[in-house]
Structure formats: C-alpha cells, structure tokens
Structure 1
Amino acid sequence: MAKIWVNSADSHVLEPHDLWRDALPKRLADRAPRAERADGRETVYVDGQIIRRDPIAFSDAMRPPGAEDPRIRLEDLDEQGVWAEVVFPSRALWTTIMTDRELARECGKAYNDWCLSEVMGVSPRFVGVAVVSVLDTDDAVAELARAVSAGYRAVFLPATPPEGRDFNNEVWEPLWAAAAEADIPICFHIGTGAEQKVARGPGGAVINYVETFYPAQRTVAHLVASGVLDRYPGLRIVMAESGATFVPALADRMDEAYRQHDMFVRPKLSRRPSEIIYSQVYASFQHDPSAIGTATALGFRNVMWGSDYPHLEGTFPNTQKVLHELFDDVAQDVRRRITIDCFNEVFGVAEPPVTV
C-alpha cells in the first residue's frame, strides 16, 4: 500500500522525571509532579495530592522507541507516515490540578522552556503547546506572551477548569483577548483538569474512557453561549482527542436552545451558535470512522486527525493500517482536508514531502 502522509493534531511528549527537580528551587520542586515506582505500580504526587496508582509493566512494554527522545521520534514519525505533529505535555498536564499559584506558574514556565529547547529545537515538525496557569489569568496572559515571543504557535488549557473558574466566567476575558490578538489557537485536551469522574464496578474501564470526552462538549458550550467566540471571531479553539462527531449534534442543540428560549438568552449573539462553532471550533480524532461522516455528510469541516503518540490508545505502530482503513474510500479533497489542510490552517506547518 502507498504510504499516506498526514499531520497529527494530537500527540504527547514524555518529559524527564527530573525536569522540575532540576529547574525549580527546592521549596517548589518538592511539590512539582513526580512519580515513584514500586511493586509494579506507579504513584504520582502533585502539590501534595496523590493522583493515581497504575500497573506499569504493560504501558512500558508498549511505549514507542521515540517517546523520550525526539530524534528517535522523528524516525518513528517517518516510518508511520506522520509529518508534523502537535505535541501536548504528559507529566506537565498535572499542573492543571495544582492549587498554589506560584507553583503552577513556575512549573508551566519550566516545561515550556524545556519543550522549546529539547523538542521544538530539534525539528520544526514538532508544534509545541505552551502550558499556562489556570489559577491566575494575569499569570496566564504573561506566559502566553512569553511563549509566543519564543516561537510557540499554540497554548494548552484543560478541558475542566478549576472550581469557580468556569470558561464562561469573566475572569478569563484577558486571556481570550490576548490569544485573539496573538492569533494563537487555544487547545483543550480531554481528560485534563479538575477532578475527573470515576466509575467503579462493571464496565468501569469503558465508562471512564467515555467520561473524558464530556468536558469537551461543556467547554465548547461555555465559550459559545457566553459570547467569547462571538466577541473574538478570529479566536480558534481545538478540542484534542475528543472525536468530532459530537460537534454537529452540539451545534443543533445550542441552536434550538437559542431559538426556542430566546427570551431567556443572555448575551445575545451576532450569529447562530452553529455558525460560530462551524467557523471557530476544531476537533481531532484518531480511530473514529464516524468522524469522516461528520466532514462529508454533516458539513463540519474543521476535523483533524491525530495519532495520540505515544499513548496506548494511539495508533502507533499501526498508523498506516488505521489511515488506510479510514481513508481509502474517502474522496481526495476530504482526505486532504482532514489529514493536512485543516492542521496547516490552524498551526501553519510546511507541507509533507509526499501526500497520497
């Protein structure tokens, strides 16, 4: 089979365990994300919180060769047919559950400096996503400006914000304005942020996986209904690893609410919610065949593919098999929109060497 070259709108770097220990003063480093391994399990500590205890043998065995080395990673990408990729953090995602303003700010800065030097500095094919504070908007705006001046082209926020700081809250307004002025997309990754709902008992593994994508819908609803995206028509948001099929259904539901409950709606928008969503919201998927129908039959064209490298639910080492199953019978213009053009529209990356 001919190789299908693509860009990935969702992948992750794996930061070194000692990143914050070496970059921060001891009074902060002791509370920064760290993992301890014993008896085949891993315990993650963040700002005094114990986050999870995972069996590690299986995940370690399945980890791609380039997970911790960006030069080897480029070999993995070439073999898999991935040209450019957006790289989210892994361990730095835990900064979003911190409760200390200084710790969150400094951990984010340390990660951004490391990613800029050790990942983005290796190749322009890596599009780093800068971490900004979710606890203080002034800190977030300052770090956004610093990141943009350093060369970042995307900013990360969690899908679930801290309590009292919902995304329809006016406390975020300076960040929306700064991102719009800088013309930088804000990328929300599912499964990140404040306390995640956990189901116990039969079906728990599947139920919990499904639970991770509900906050993506909530985030879009908040940013559209509150008027954020209407006030900043150039601001783009990306829902990473959320799948794309929910977007048209959400747009329909919001249009219905806006139309049928007009007397209660505040603020009034200059466009229908669906118009805002279809022009400013983007979503990525990895395995979902329904995402293709979203772009072809339902008219939502802001769909991007992502490999989720190096995570277990990603497509490595079977990326080409997945791509051919998804796209072999898809019209060339739709395939190109999902695999190349939509990504370039948001992140501005050079063309792959070959597209099929």
Structure 2
Amino acid sequence: MPKMWTNSGDSHFLEPDDVWDARLPKALAELTPKSQKDPDGEWETVSVDGQTFRRKLPTSAAVQFIEESHKPQGVRDPVARLADLDKEGVWGEVIFPSLGMWASTFRTPELLKACMRASNEYARDELAPVSKRYVVTGQVSTLDVDDAVSEIEWLAENGFKSVFLPTTPHPSAPDWHRKEWEPFWEICEKSGIVPAFHIGTDPVDMTSGGAGQVFRGPGGAVMNYTETTFSGQRAAMKLVASGALDRHPDLKILISEGGATWIPFLGDRLLEGYRQHHMAVRPKLTRDPKEILMTQVYASFQHDETAVAANEAMGYKNVMFGSDYPHMEGTFGHTQKTLEGLFAHAKPETVERITQGVFYELFPDVPPVPESTDAIQG
C-alpha cells in the first residue's frame, strides 16, 4: 500500500545532558538537577536547586521498555531524526523538550529563567535550523509571570511558533485562569505563537516518587497513566471559562497527547454550567463556551479509536494526529499500521483534516508534503 503521510502534533527530543551546565555560570550550573544512583540500582539521590531527596527507580521491566523506546537515533540527533520520520511517514512535527519536566522542582527564579533561556538558545541554534519540518517548542519559566512574559517576547523575536507549557504553572505562580497571565496570552496572539500544553506536566512532589506516582496498589499503572490526561482538560477549561480565549479570538492552543473526544463532552459541561448558573458566572463571554473550546482548542491523539468519530459524528474539527515519537505510548515502529486502522472507514476529507489540515492551520510555515516523498529529508 502507498505510504499515508501525516503530520504530528506531539513528539519529544532528548537534549544533551549538559545543555544547562554548559551554558550557565558555574554558580547556577551547580544548582541544576544532578542524580547519583545507589550501588544496587534501586534508588537514586537527586539534588536540584538546593534540595535533596531520594526516589525509587523504575523496575527492570520499565527500564527495558524505556530503553526500547529510546532506541531511535533521532531522539538525540536531529539530522538522523529525519530518516526516522521518513520511514514512519511523518512529515512535520511539534517537538517538545525533555528537560522541561524538571521545571516545577525549581524554586529560584533566576535559575529557572537561565535554564529556560539556555534550552531556547539550544533549540534555536541546534534543532530548528536542521529542517523546516520541525516546529520546535520554546520554554518559559512559570515560576514568575514577568519572567515568562519576557521570555515569550524573546521567543517571538527569534522566530519560535510554539511554546511548551505545563498543564499547571509552578505552584508559586498564579494559575492559568488568573488575570496576571493576560500579557502572556496577548503576546502569543499577536505573534502567532501557539501555546502547547503537554499532558502529564502538572507540578509533582519528587519526594513521593516523582512524576506519574499518584495511585498505588491494584490498577495503579493504568490509573496513573489515565490520570495524566485530565490535566490537559483542566488547562483548556481554565482558559475558556476565564475568558482568556474569548478576549483573544485569534489565539489557538494545543493540548498534546491527551486524546480528542473529551472536547465535545467538556464543551457540553461548560455550556450547561454557563447557562444554568448564569446569575453567578463571571466574566460574561461574548460567545458560548462550547464554541470557544471547539474552535480555539486543538487536541492531538495517537491511538484513540474514538478520535475520528469526534470529527465526523461530533463536529469537533480540530482533531490532530500525534505520533508521540519515540515514547512507549507512541506509534514509532507501527505508525503506518496505526493510521490504516484508524482511518479504515473514514471519509477522505476526514483523513486529510486530521493528518494534514489541522497541523497547517496552526503552523502554516511548515512546507507541504511533496508529491514525491521518496528518500526526501530536510
């Protein structure tokens, strides 16, 4: 069968281990995350920003899965990455950082601001120039709103088209629905930068086991994985209900890896709440909240069988495929098989919209898939 080409609203890159240390003054570099494993390999001691704690390492089975998922050379080599994408039939892609997961553990604004700038300079100098197919997300500190505003201005000046945001800001900062973030959304709208919220990025208490450790006991693995999806829904809810998206009608946001079918349901709940409790609703919106959600919020999925139906049967047209390269939850190694199964009974216009149209609506600067894609890279 001919290859079915798609764009991806979700992928990841592993930066060099010293991307922060090599670019920061020594006094700040010493405060960046460091870890030392116990001789038995079961625990590690982590120090970050003057804090030290211990955490249990993943089981051997989990480590094996992680190592398998990171086998592609392209996870660390942006040039080799193009060959991986060509093999999978993925053209353009949104690329999220990896070190950004540490952001919520920092407590010194100066340090986090410096780390974010170092990551952004690396992305600008080493990733983005490799290919116009890459939409490399910038990063901002959410420890201090003023620092975030300053950095989003820098990102706009340096040609970034998207910014990675955690689904909940740093615990010391105002939440996304608060008025303090208004200048940030204004700059994003004016410059055409897409705020891209990636699920599973809520602030975590590393002393309790780290990211993903919410439930223990029977069903814990499935519950922990499922739990990560809810944070993206909450982020979208906050920006709709607070009026942030209503005040900025040209602002588009992306919720990555959280599926898509939840959008129509959440829209129904927001609309019902707005209608049935109108006497208590503040602020008043110029459009109904479901319309705002369905038109300004974009959502990527990888395997969800219901995502196509969200487009065809539920009227949600901003469904976008995402490969989640190279994570174990993603489609690397079987992207074509996944696409064939997802779109086996879909209308041609649905396939085009989910694999191509939505992506180009957000990122029109990415070149279109050439008519002949044989051995094309760059």
Q: Where on the TM-score scale, by shorter chain, does this alignment land: which range?
A: over 0.9
1:336 counterpart = 2:352: yes
Pairing 1:314-333 to 2, within 5 Å after superposition = 314-333=330-349
Matched, 1:174 2:190: no
Task: Return 154-163 or 31-40, whichever deviates more.
Answer: 31-40
Distance 1:15 1:188 in 2: 19
Q: Deviations over 1:176-209 (max 9, x none)?
A: 1111111211110000131266101011110000
Amino acid at match of 1:4: M
Which residue number in structure 2 is paired with residue 188 of structure 1?
Answer: 197
Cα deviation, residue 7, structure 1: 0.5
Give the 3 Å change call, closer, same or farther, for CA 49–147 of structure 1 in structure 2: farther
User: Cα deviations across residues 262-300 of structure 1 (Å, max 9, x unaligned)?
Assistant: 111011100100011111000000010111111110001
Q: 2:132 corresponds to which residue?
A: 124
- Give distance in 2, aligned partners of 1:70 and 1:188: 22
**Superposed CA RMSD:** 1.9
Task: Measure, in 1, the Cα distance between the counterparts of 2:280 and 2:113.
Answer: 38
Deviation at 1:42, TM superposition (A): 7.6
- SS at 2:167 equivalent: strand
SS in 1 for 2:20: helix
- Whole-angstrom distance in 1 between the partners of 2:312 and 2:228: 26
The correspondence of residues 142-153 of structure 1 with structure 2, limited to 5 A, is: 142-153=150-161
SS of residue in 2 equivalent to 1:23: coil
The answer to whether the 8 A contact 1:13-1:89 is kept is yes
Matched, 1:62 2:79: no
Amino acid at match of 1:323: L
- Tell me how many residue pairs correspond in the alignment: 356
Taking the aligned partners of 1:101 and 1:344, their CA distance within structure 2 comes to 35
| In 2, Cα distance between equivalents of 1:204 and 1:45 | 27
Distance in 1 (alpha carbons) for counterparts of 2:235 and 2:351? 27
**Cα offset for 1:61?**
3.1
* SS in structure 2 at match of 1:199: coil
The answer to whether the 8 A contact 2:246-2:287 is kept is: yes
Q: Distance in 2 between matches of 1:254 and 1:114?
A: 40
CA shift, 1:99, in A, is: 1.7
Q: Quick check: 1:33–1:95 contact (8 Å CA) kept in 2? A: no
Q: Which runs of 5+ in 1 are unaligned?
A: none
Q: Residues 11-46 of structure 1: CA distance to partner in whole angstroms, max 9, x if unpaired?
A: 011011111111111221122234545655684544
Counterpart contact for 2:15–2:99, Cα < 8 Å? yes
Distance 2:291 2:272 in 1: 13
> 1:71-113 CA distances to partner (integer Å, 9 max, x unpaired)?
1111000000011110000122322332211111111110111
Pair 1:218-2:227 in alignment: no
CA contact (8 A) 1:241 1:283 kept: yes
Is contact 2:10-2:324 (8 Å) kept? yes
Displacement of 1:328 after TM fit?
2.7
Structure 2: how far apart are the matches of 1:304 and 1:42? 39
The one-letter code of the counterpart of 1:256 is E
Q: 1:70 to 1:101 in 2, by over 3 A?
A: same
Equivalent residues of 2:198, 2:257 under 8 A apart: yes
Alpha-carbon separation, structure 2, partners of 1:87 and 1:79: 18
Residues 97 and 193 of structure 1 are in contact (CA less than 8 Å); yes or no, is this contact kept in structure 2?
Answer: no
How do residues 1-356 of structure 1 correspond to structure 2 at under 5 angstroms? 1-37=1-37, 39-40=40-41, 43=44, 45-47=47-49, 48=51, 50=53, 53-55=57-59, 56-63=63-70, 64-163=72-171, 164-195=173-204, 198-348=214-364, 349-354=366-371
Q: 1:311 and 1:33 mapped to 2: Cα distance?
A: 22
2:376 aligned residue: none
- Give the SS at the match of 1:27: helix
Relative to structure 1, the CA distance from residue 49 to residue 333 in structure 2 (aligned partners, 3 Å threshold; closer, same or farther) is farther
Residues 65 and 328 of structure 2 are in contact (CA less than 8 Å); yes or no, is this contact kept in structure 1? Answer: no
Which AA in structure 2 matches 1:90?
S
2:263 is paired with a residue whose SS is: helix
CA contact (8 A) 1:67 1:73 kept: yes
- CA shift, 1:62, in A, is 3.2
**Are the counterparts in 2 of residues 10 and 86 from structure 1 also a CA contact under 8 Å?**
yes
Name the SS for the 1:238 alignment partner. Answer: strand
Give TM-score scaled by structure 2 length: 0.90
**Shift in Å, 1:142:** 1.4
Structure 1 residue 59 displacement after superposition? 1.4
